[in-house]
């Protein structure tokens, strides 16, 4: 994605996230991104009903002048976890693992804790440490058990638990 948009915060394989204000960001769905804004919004709403681990959905919107479909979310301000003592990081990790477990039990799996090795960016780009604790962004490839069925859901959870183990090692060893 070579095009730069005003107030760009990040760019992924399919979408750009821009700042709208000090409290909101928008994931832009422009042209044919191969992403489904409605599906992503519904997955975010689903996770938000369970706990506060996944970034909060605000609304779907349209910038008619620019022809941007926008998934509007709360704006998170990530912190550098290395500024926290090891003991604090252990506690943050315990809470993170418990919140992930709650999501799994309720039928939601994030599926993107660890970036594919073919994508640019930090290995755990979708995990933010904030003043409220560890948070997840980008539910584009997340899955809901009722939609994908038990077999796929179980496979996705098993894969995510492997990613979680890698993240835990990374987070606590730094």
pLDDT recorded at residue 109: 98
Sites in the chain below the pLDDT cut of 50: 1
| Region for 88 from its dihedrals, namely left if φ exceeds 0, alpha if ψ lies in -120 to 50, beta otherwise | alpha
pTM equals: 0.92
pLDDT recorded at residue 12: 79
pLDDT recorded at residue 34: 61
pLDDT recorded at residue 126: 94
pLDDT recorded at residue 1: 47
């Amino acid at each position: 994605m070579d095009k730069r948009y005003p107030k760009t915060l990040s760019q992924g394989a399919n979408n750009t996230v821009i700042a709208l204000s000090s409290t909101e960001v928008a994931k832009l769905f422009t042209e044919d991104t191969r992403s489904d804004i409605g599906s992503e919004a519904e997955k975010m709403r689903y996770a938000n009903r369970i706990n506060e681990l996944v970034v909060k959905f605000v609304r779907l919107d349209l910038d008619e002048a620019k022809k941007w479909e926008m998934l509007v979310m709360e704006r998170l301000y990530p912190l550098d976890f290395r500024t926290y003592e090891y003991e604090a990081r252990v506690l943050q990790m315990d809470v993170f693992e418990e919140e992930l477990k709650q999501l799994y039990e309720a039928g939601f799996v994030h599926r993107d804790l660890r970036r594919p090795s073919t994508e640019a960016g930090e290995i755990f780009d979708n995990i933010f440490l904030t003043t409220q604790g560890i948070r997840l962004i980008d539910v584009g490839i997340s899955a809901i058990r009722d939609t994908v069925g038990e077999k796929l859901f179980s496979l996705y959870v098993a894969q995510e638990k492997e990613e979680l183990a890698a993240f835990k090692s990374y987070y606590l060893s730094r």
